[in-house]
Chain A
Amino acid sequence: MSTLLQEIEAQIAGVKTSVAKQNVGTVREIGDGVAKIEGLTDVMLNEMIDFGNGIIGLALNLEETEVGAIILGDYTSIKEGQEVRTTGKLLQVPVGKGLLGRVVNSLGQPVDGKGPIKSDVSYPVEKIAPGIIKRKSVNQPVQTGIMAVDAMIPIGRGQRELIIGDRSTGKTTLGVDAMINQARINQAADAAGDKDTRRLYNIYVAIGQKQSNVARVVSVLEEAGAMPYTIVVVASASDSATNQYLAPFAGAAMGEWFMDNGMDALIIFDDLSKHATAYRQVSLVLKRPSGREAYPGDVFYLHSRLLERSARLGEKYGNGSLTALPIIETQLGDVSAYIPTNVISITDGQIYLETDLFYQGIRPAISVGLSVSRVGSAAQIKAMKQVAGRVKLELAQFRELAAFAQFGSDLDAKTQAQIERGKRIVEIFKQSQYKPIPIEVQVAVLWAGQNGYFDDIPVDRVKHAQAKMTDYLTNRKTDLMAKIAKEKALSDALTADLKAAVTEFKQTYK
């Protein structure tokens, strides 16, 4: 017994309490969410700094004698002379499916009062985008449910498509519609027990927006049953600029988790103009040199590194994707301003919304001439390509002829017919908000439009006829619609069936 005691005593005497080395600094200046800290000789760029009381900061500026850090959280309780510590960690946010259906802030903390978030995985907020080897070209569609977009400006999974327009032209609505449509497709697949359909999860990042706007979007998503497939990241106008600056990166980290785990996600940044403004504020307070319009020199890199993180991964790397829909608000339609041109050049195309069209009643107010999708056509389903292949060109021709016809000169029959057809196509593309249209219905209606089935209906009745036709096709021709959705192409047999169905409808329609 005594030998055992001696043994233990010897072991205990051998144990020394180790003291870890810490690196500390002193707060020299504090204000506007930014602290200047002296000391911290071992601090790394973008490292988290512990201010005590659960407040953390991020080291953004490493200078000769001091460190500039942004503070996440309440900076009013921090005092000059206070001691701070390095943590050796990067800023991380919780990720995973536990976040679906939740509203979180830019640190991934819940703000919806639904209790703590169940998540055991965290991702760093700043992450290097996947490289060339991991990527694959875009070849699967994102069905937005907006006919004009799916037909003329198709978006593929892994694409970055900018939504740009003046205030109140329906930019957010376009994004919300796309999210609702994904929820609709996911719900249908869940109900059918279909495991093959690739679900697309939504992440909505609200940057610098009014809380009331965010609440409205959340309630629309809830009403449409889209919340179970959606994560909402909020850094509202009343949050600090530092949180607004971090929010899209936090959202991108949440999306990357889906991508890395072989799933698909759609992220909407609403909007990046306010993000650039928040970053400008942070940079100016940090006394970084300012450039054009007082934006810092790295405002391009800010957005390029963010949007570069959306990608389509190859089969070997899980086959996941992250599609980004950044939103930019222009002033008086000026797309040649600094931030809009930056983001236009980064993205793979843009959807341009015009105030004039909006007030003419053409909603969504998509300007066909200025909107492009650089990679999405590879992802469009064959049936849509068959019916919509020439629509964009025809609409452009219609615009030109319509402008020409305003001079009142007599027109030949062919031109007249083209103008009449164009007017009807414009009508067909009009769509009310929060009502996405399934792709098979889009194909059938466009086919009818292309083949002149609306030509004898007065322009102001086209919308009515379209609604009736949609009703007829979805309720009475369910099999045909299911077939189009399944085959994803209009074979000769299907075309004949479709023709018969539409002819039958025309006979009954008055």
Chain B
Amino acid sequence: MKISKQARREAKQVFRICLANGTLDPNRVRQVVQHIIVQKPRGYVGILSHFERLVILEEHRRTAKVESAVPLSPELQSTVQNSLERVYGNGLNISFSQNPSLIGGMRIQVGSDVYDGSVQARLNALQESF
């Protein structure tokens, strides 16, 4: 579906309303979506779908994915969490998961930043250097 420029602009405005101290406020998001659905302003489907995209991207930006080859101990998890919060601030959604294909080490992705300390990444880098 083609979303008009006007709808994009309005979605952006709505998105800005939902921000509190630089982070997304879930309650406001719910309220705003309810409001738009009830009010049905001009091009509201476009506004909502673009708004959804903005929320997804914001969520993605505030999500930290920590992958490791073996399960991490609770101490290590809290160390990782603390150091990530030191860099990216509070309000990060951190998810821990296992990925045996890493062979060893850890791969952390926050938004589009990647810290790849896995054995697999080093092997790949080695392969590329030849």
Contact = CB atoms under 8 A, between A and B. Distances in A.
A217 B116 CA distance: 50
B115 interface: yes
A40 B112 contact: yes
A430 B109 CA distance: 70
A25 B112 contact: yes
Nearest to A85: B114
A42 B114 CA distance: 12
A22 interface: yes
A21 B112 CA distance: 10
Interface string A40-70: 1110000000000000000000000100000
A17 interface: yes
A65 B115 contact: no
Contacts of A42: 112-113
Chain B's interface: helix, strand, loop or mixed, by majority?
mixed
Contacts of A41: 61, 111-113
A19 B121 CA distance: 11
B76 to A, nearest CB: 15
A17 B115 CA distance: 12
B70 interface: no
Interface residues of A, number: 14
Interface string B52-92: 01100100110000000000000000000000000000000
Contacts of A19: 115-117
B46 to A, nearest CB: 15
A42 B116 CA distance: 17
A24 B114 contact: yes
A432 interface: no
Contacts of A314: none
B112 A23 contact: yes
A447 to B, nearest CB: 66
A39 B111 contact: yes
Contact of A24 (B53, B57, B109): B109
Given A21-B114, A65-B57, 13 more contacts: A17-B117, A19-B116, A20-B115, A22-B113, A22-B114, A22-B116, A25-B112, A39-B60, A41-B61, A41-B112, A42-B112, A42-B113, A65-B53
Interface of A: 17, 19-25, 38-42, 65
